[in-house]
Structure 1
Amino acid sequence: MQVRGALIKDGGLDRRLRVEWLLVVSIAMLLTFLLSCFSHNFALHRLDHLLYGQTLALATRPPPEEVVIVVLDDDSIDELGQWPLRRAVHAELLARLHLAKAVGLDFVFRDASPAYPQDESILAQAMSRHGRVVLPLVVDDGRVLWPRPILAQAAAGLGIINAHLGPDSVVRAMKPYWQTAQGKVDHFVVAMLDVAGHDSKAQQLRAGDETPRLMSFVGGPGSFKMYPYARVLDDSVPSEAFEGKLVLVGAWASALGDALSVPLSGTGEPMSGVEILANGLHNALGQHWIRTPHFLVTALLSTLPVLMVCIALRRLSPRRSLLVILGLVVLIFIAHWVLMRYFHVWIGPSAALLGIMLAYPLWSWRLQEAALKQVDAELDSLYAQHLMHFQALPQDDIAVRHSLPHRLVRLHQAMGMVRQAIGLREEALRFLSHDMRSPQNTILALVQLQRRSRSPKDQMQLLDRIERSACRTLRLVDGFVRLARAESMELNLNEIDLAGLLQSVCDEQWPMAHHRNITISVEGVERPAFTMADEDQLRRALGNLVTNAIQYSPQDGRIWCRLRGQGSEWVIEIEDKGRGMTADQISRLFHPFRRFDAEVPDNPAGIGLGLALVRAVVLRHGGRISVESQPGQGSTFRVSLPVFGSGAATPR
């Protein structure tokens, strides 16, 4: 207990909070770092993917005019009348696209066309005349599936069109090339760049590793400039519309071609494969690939918001800290949008957000624990110094005693005791400054008067007055000391019989009662009534109650002292038929230095400490005291004490 008191005096709470804060900072930042590094193990990548899609949707750019799509839509299929289209029809389309910088046919010409065998040569010749046509390759089980040889020879470029699917079957990235059994094979987009004359940009993609490149999307399905296949064939769309453009030709009709989910899709319409290729061209032409830092850099950056939150929690109030956290979360989303929109950088925020969410309750928990432990230490120190009554607080089992509600009740009651102690101190100061000084001043005045008076008083008369004043001073000091001891002195607890004690107290007060011809009736003391108590303190308290009953009872009156069992308590009642009290007087009855009816001539002498002592003793023994009274009808004081061995809380 002395160690705890020293911690309180030396600023232990501040040191404890500093240590707790450093511990919370370390734990929160370490957890954030580990969550970021091993996000896939904790399934945080799903949240990152969701946030990635939402951020990407807000950071879309206008589609480039250089990339257009000729779509084989439902209307075109209805007009052309068959599927698959004859390869001669594709040759006619290429003739309309002769001004295009490069044309990518997103159709796999893997099988022969037995119905129209001559169409294959027609398409090959059209491709040779155009000179800038790219055909797709497909990778299946590690093998590259090539188009018909005559078409492959006529193509200006070949590239793989396989989509790179994430774990959730969403297309977010594009592999620049594929390592196959036949060697390294370029992606379809790289082949388009080569054919279109963008050699440097194609080379940049080849020079990197095989790691997929995250793509930014210009928007949802239908964002690029599209021309229906049939409208291009019938010259409704002039050839000049494709001059200098990179043209992709692919299926867009329902139930034709491939339709894949992209980050912008959400629960909406999937995106066709030809549009995904167009987005790949958009990224390659404008270098809009989204970069991600090294995972260690990402982990370190994720810890910065957590550190900022911890600093706010240490320096600000809970309400302001919560506002700072909410503002910081908003700033995180804004910062990620800015990084993606203008710098093409993506840093997964899920670890940082989770770290922030953990920091707030973690710090609140540790702060509460540190504060409550300090409160416990403060209260225990006060109890150890006998400055408060332990019995005035709830006596529950250990689990309940360490709960937050119990601690708050304990603190609230302790604060009430502190306020009461302050009031008692002020009353004590008034007592010392007035009541104690008054008899001393009387003695000094008598001495001075005797010295200076020309006709000194009789010596015996003077000594008699000095004696009365000195005795009054001693009574004041004795009452004050007894009350202080009753409130703070350690109790010497022993098993005692309340029946015998009550009978003994009444016997001690018999001479005073006999002098006033008052009868004391003792009831209910035939059987033992054991409790744990300090016999001297309890004897003095019960004696005060019986003395008061005698002093305030009328001549030839009667007093009843009763003892009875009630559940787990012994109840002692002291009843008289004296002048009684009002409700206002009862409310102030047990306060020190409070006396009533001082102006009444036959009011018993006293200093107003007797009942305050009774209350202090009873409370320290784990008991209760109450009074019932009516003016002119007497008073009944009732003291309840725990039965020894009943399971009641042991008094201190």
Structure 2
Amino acid sequence: MRRAERADFWGSLERRIHAEWLLVTASMLLFTACLSLLGGPAGLTRVDHTFYDRILATTASSAPQPDIVIIAIDDGSIAELGYWPWRRAVHARLLGQLGQARVVGFDILLSDKNPAYPTDDATLARAIRANGRTVLPFMIAHGNQRIVPPLPRLADAAAAMGYINVYADGDGVVRSLKLRQPLGDDGEAQHFLLAMLQVAHIPARLGAARTDDSALLIPYGRQPSRYTVYPYARVLEGDVPASAFKDKLVLVGSWGSGLGDAFPTPVTSAHGGMAGVEIMANGLQAAVAGSWIRTTAPWLAAALACLPVLLVCLLFRRRSPRRSFIVVLATLLLVGMAAILLLWLARTWIPVTASLIGVVLSFPVWSWRSQEASLQHIDRELRTLRHDRAALGENASPKRSAVKDASLPARITQLHGAIEQLRLAHERREETLRFLSHDMRSPQNSILALIELQQHANTALEQTIFLHRVQSYAHRTLGLVDGFVNLARARAKQLHYEAVDLVDLMAQCMDEFWAQARQRRIALRYDAHPEQAWTWGDASLLHRSVMNLLDNAIKYSPDDTEVTCRIEAHGGMWQASVRDQGRGFSAEQAATLFEAFSRVDEQADGNPSGVGLGLAFVKTVIERHGGRIEVSGAVGEGAQFTLCLPAEPGGIPRE
């Protein structure tokens, strides 16, 4: 691929990745916003409630609240005073002990007559009127269409009234109160707590709530109760002095385990619930101090939920998958810590589930789209490479398993193969340039220099010497060309596989070198163990490889020595070796034996002629046949070259 084409390729990839990033970012922001605004039916509200409950239970205040006192109708009082409900004359006696209270709120419905004690209602009404600061509750029933008030005589005597309904969320947990409740066409009713504050002349503080008909989150205190609690019986008997209630906001309500007035709350849902009168105490404290837990408008909550998603998407653009994963984990931790700190320090709750889901999903979505874009570009480049190699006559078809495998590992494997091919092509290009610029030019320059000398009488050589040297340089040039062409063919030639008997092949090669070896009194010895050694390969290339090894062994061996050939089986491979008794080589020289144009002791006296391509040819052929070449030797101890080729199963040629 030319430089301009590569620049266009990577430029288009960068543009594609940028477009994918913009699309993923916009999609995840829209998804998170919709999830925040519309996720209630999908169950996100329940998950948010779980987070809220855990955080509130952890960060709830345990500071005592001395201005609010609870008179508890507990199990001990019931045991002492008798079964519930008690006579209303008993409540009248209790009010006699609370004359110094700033306000008394009876969290007890008094809507039914007691025919067994017909005068008790009048007694209680007189006590309520005498106290002058008693607030009675009523119940809203039938879908907010009507109220269930206390008896008229009691209602007329009360300083104020308000409803005591508490409305649990979908999971049954009471987290909030509404200080005003619409009543159909009859206007609205105020909450019991507002009535108490009105009698106590304390303005109700709504905190950051927009209106007092909003659902206000109660800042529950940590269990056990942070309020002063007196048993009903103890107060009734005068065991608690009247001064203990001076200027206090007093709530009277059930606390007993068998009265059924307990509700799950964020801080007690795991412990069986909180008494209704304590819920009222927590709400009363919030209304006095304005410490309701603030919430945000839906649109603002959606915008805040999108901020972490935008943050991770911005960081994804230039981060690796590993670092992007770390970014996701860090952002999730940051969102969780921010929710805890806001609820703890700022008494503000922002739902986090939509944000957490958006952050978590952003990572796989971005990974999918970025990898898909990259892999599509890789596929395009692989197709271009295969087309270019096919045009050069090279086999560029992937393996059968890779053709049908579109997974990431398969594509990476193909890319690795393409990169390896590019690396080899670059090496061959450099090798060709070196061959043309140095190895081929050197003998030609020598011939030109001889001709230049021959043209001058004072430097001219004898005709015989001149022709001999020109012939030598010409043969060297032809040897270089033949060696280079053979090496190139060994690398690029389409192999024609057939069954080859290495024993027969070795014998043929030894026969061809018999005369040359005999001329120098070099013995060619064949140490034959198997009668046949079948392998699967290109017979012509394997034949030339063995010939190269024998040629080198004879050339580098002194006269009157021995060259030994051997074939043996080892580990499912045939090992065909050629060993000589020549000069050998050092470990440093062994490392460069198979490099093209590399020769051992090239400048040494008596070094045989050659171009340094024979062993490179052998190594290329053997590796293309799925084998390997091994070498051993030392200086002055000869050398052994071993061809390791896969054995044909059973030694039987394939059909």
TM-score by length of 2: 0.78
Displacement of 1:311 = 1.2
- Whole-Å separation in 2 of the counterparts to 1:159 and 1:399: 78
The residue number in structure 1 matching 2:339 is 336
Residue 165 of structure 2, aligned match among 162, 167, 189: 162
**Which residue of structure 2 aligns with residue 41 of structure 1?**
41
Alignment CA distance shift 1:559-1:323 (3 Å): closer
2:46 maps to a residue whose letter is R
Give the corresponding residue for 1:303: 306
Aligned to 2:121: 120
- Relative to structure 1, the CA distance from residue 163 to residue 128 in structure 2 (aligned partners, 3 Å threshold; closer, same or farther) is same
Which AA in structure 2 matches 1:136?
P
Q: Deviations over 1:581-612 (max 9, x none)?
A: 67957665432223346578765422121232
3-state DSSP of counterpart to 1:159:
strand
Deviations 1:335-375 (A, max 9, x none): 33454456554221011112212223443455555556666
Report the Cα distance in structure 2 between the residues aligned to 1:394 and 1:555, rounded to whole angstroms: 51
TM-superposed deviation, 1:140: 4.9
Specify whether residues 377 and 608 from structure 1 end up closer, same or farther in structure 2 by C-alpha distance, changes over 3 A only: farther
Provide the rounded CA distance (Å) in 1 between the counterparts of 2:303 and 2:210: 31
- Give yes or no for contact 1:309–1:324 (8 Å, CA) kept in 2: yes
> Helix, strand or coil for the counterpart of 1:117?
coil
Q: Distance in 1 between matches of 2:38 and 2:105?
A: 40
Q: For the Cα contact (< 8 Å) 2:389–2:396, is it kept in 1?
A: no
Q: For 1:164, what is the secondary structure of its paired residue?
A: coil
User: Aligned residue pairs: how many?
Assistant: 637
Partner of 1:192: 196
1:155-211 CA-to-partner distances (Å, cap 9, x unmatched) read 233322222111211001223344557944433223323433457769x999665x5
Instruction: Provide the identity percentage.
Output: 39
Moved more, 262-271 or 236-245: 236-245
Separation in structure 1 between the aligned mates of residue 387 and residue 3 of structure 2, nearest angstrom: 12
Work out whether residues 176 and 206 of structure 1, in 8 Å CA contact, stay in contact via their aligned partners in 2: no
The alpha-carbon distance between structure 1 residues 397 and 496, as it changes in their structure 2 partners (threshold 3 A), is closer
Contact (CA 8 Å) 1:501, 1:539: kept in 2 or not? no
* Contact 1:221-1:272 within 8 A present in 2 as well: no
Inter-CA distance 509–530: structure 2 relative to 1 (3 Å threshold)? closer
Contact kept? 2:576, 2:643, Cα under 8 Å: yes
CA–CA distance in structure 2, aligned partners of residues 454 and 181 of structure 1: 132
Please point out which of 629, 638, 643 is paired with 1:637: 643
Query: 1:593 corresponds to which residue?
Result: 597
The question of 1:253 aligning with 2:256 is answered: yes
**What is the CA–CA distance in structure 1 between the aligned matches of 2:250 and 2:354, rounded to whole Å?**
42
Q: Deviations over 1:108-130 (max 9, x none)?
A: 22333344332221101111222
Q: CA deviation at 1:49?
A: 0.9
Q: Deviations over 1:14-36 (max 9, x none)?
A: 33432343343244334323332
User: Contact 1:33 / 1:299 at 8 angstroms: preserved in 2?
Assistant: yes
Alignment CA distance shift 1:20-1:543 (3 Å): farther
Q: How does 1:405-424 map to 2 (within 5 A)?
A: none
1:94 corresponding residue in structure 2: 95
Alignment of 1:555-570 (within 5 A): none
Query: Is 1:136 matched up with 2:137?
Result: yes
> How has the CA–CA distance of structure 1 residues 297 and 278 changed in structure 2, closer, same or farther, with 3 Å as cutoff?
same
Alignment of 1:310-389 (within 5 A): 310-317=313-320, 320-341=323-344, 344-368=347-371
Distance 2:444 2:546 in 1: 31
Question: What CA distance in whole angstroms lies between the structure 2 residues aligned with 1:241 and 1:389?
Answer: 105
Contact 1:258 1:272 in 2 (8 A): yes
Distance 1:28 1:617, change over 3 A: farther
Separation in 1 of the partners of 2:211 and 2:32? 34
Q: Does 1:458 align with 2:459?
A: no
Q: Residues 402 and 91 of structure 1: is their aligned pair in 2 closer, same or farther, counting only changes over 3 Å?
A: same
Counterpart residue number, 2:55: 55
Contact 1:36 1:298 in 2 (8 A): yes
Q: Which residue of the partner structure matches residue 286 of structure 1?
A: 289
Partner of 2:618: 614
**What does residue 29 of structure 1 align with?**
29
Q: Following the alignment from structure 1 to structure 2, what is the Cα–Cα distance between the partners of residues 578 and 269?
A: 96
- Contact 1:579-1:634 within 8 A present in 2 as well: no
Unaligned runs of 5+ in 1: none
Deviations 1:396-425 (A, max 9, x none): 723895555566666667777777777777
Unaligned residue ranges in structure 2 (runs of 5+):
none
One-letter identity of the residue aligned with 2:15: R
TM-score by length of 1: 0.78
Distance 2:28 2:15 in 1: 20
Partner of 1:215: 218
The reply on whether 1:110 has 2:111 as its aligned counterpart is yes
Aligned-residue CA RMSD (Å): 5.1
Structure 2 counterpart of 1:105, which letter?
F
User: SS at the partner of 2:47?
Assistant: helix
Does structure 1 conserve the Cα–Cα contact (< 8 Å) formed by 2:585 and 2:600? no
Using the TM superposition, name which of 416-425 and 260-269 deviates more. 416-425
User: Given the superposition, is the C-alpha separation of residues 207 and 39 from structure 1 closer, same or farther in structure 2, using an over 3 Å criterion?
Assistant: closer
